[in-house]
Amino acid sequence: MRRPKTTAAVEFKRNAHALREAVSHYGRNRAVFRPVKDLYLGGVISKLYAEFENYVSDSIAENLATINSRHIELAKLPREFRSSLIHCRINHDHFRNYYASQNEERFLENIDSQFDQKIFSWNGSMHYSVTNREIVRTQGYPSEDNLVAVYKRLGIRNIFSELNRELSRDTAALLRSVNSVRCGFVHDAQNPEMGVGDFKRTINDMIVLVMAIDHVVSSLVVRIR
């Protein structure tokens, strides 16, 4: 297993280990009725996924802080990263309003005002700080599609392809499996059809997955100079 590279990964690992210990302790308590145990384990899987969501957001913020501290020229950023930054800072409302109203005169006035403010004047030799909001946007929930989109904005074409090479397994299938159990419990009121041993293995798998993400993203950040 890779060592954590970010504080966010250290925090995730610590919290996941605490969940695993709690599951072990709870599993040894034979006095607990099965329905109560199912509720507890369902809560554990929900908490685990919430910790994963926190990790993704917090680790991206950490890595962006590292990149921003280097004052890297715009032209030297990975293409996807650079394009994402520019995309977020263009006033798209002008384009949406134009398509809605078909008022070309008003559209050109709005665009011209943006030129006056130098919003479209991107200087490749200048440094532009990137915020977490510009990378994560509305895709903070760590579904498979959202993770691909978010990490692509950092310059990783497909995070799961990288993780599959790192771990020699289908990491997207792993994440779908965990999320399926969580969604079944939270949204469909289905008790997880998993035993204590299954939960401990799932927690271990998520720890390995997060450490691999941390390694892949940190390796990219090291190269951005």
Beta bridge partners of 127: 73
pLDDT at 116 over 60: no
Q: Which of 182, 164, 174 is nearest to 48 (CA)?
A: 182
Q: State mean pLDDT over 100-116.
A: 74
pLDDT digits (tens, 9 = 90+) for 188-203: 778 788 888 999 999 9
pLDDT at 55 over 80: yes
Residues 6+ apart with CB under 8 A from 53: 140, 141, 142
Q: Which range in 97-101, 118-122, 135-139 is most confidently predicted, on average pLDDT?
A: 135-139
∠ at Cα 137 (135, 143), nearest 5°? Answer: 95
Q: How many CB atoms lie within 10 A of CB 154?
A: 22
Using an 8 Å Cβ cutoff, are 9 and 221 in contact? no
pLDDT digits (tens, 9 = 90+) for 163-190: 999 999 999 999 999 999 998 888 877 8
pLDDT at 73 over 70: yes
Q: What's the pLDDT at 210?
A: 98
Q: Which of 104, 101, 100 is nearest to 112 (CA)?
A: 104
Cα radius of gyration rounded to whole Å, the chain? 22
What is the DSSP code (8-state) at residue 201? H
pLDDT digits (tens, 9 = 90+) for 35-47: 777 788 889 999 9
Q: How many CB atoms lie within 10 A of CB 166?
A: 18
pLDDT at 147 over 60: yes
pLDDT at 25 over 60: yes
Using an 8 Å Cβ cutoff, are 164 and 171 in contact? yes
The CA dihedral of 218, 66, 16, 41, to the nearest 10 degrees, is: -100
Q: State mean pLDDT over 103-113.
A: 75
What is the DSSP code (8-state) at residue 192? P
Using an 8 Å Cβ cutoff, are 25 and 196 in contact? no
Model confidence, pTM = 0.86
Q: What's the pLDDT at 115?
A: 59
Q: What's the pLDDT at 212?
A: 98
pLDDT band at 117 (very low <50, low <70, confident <90, very high): low
Using an 8 Å Cβ cutoff, are 154 and 63 in contact? yes
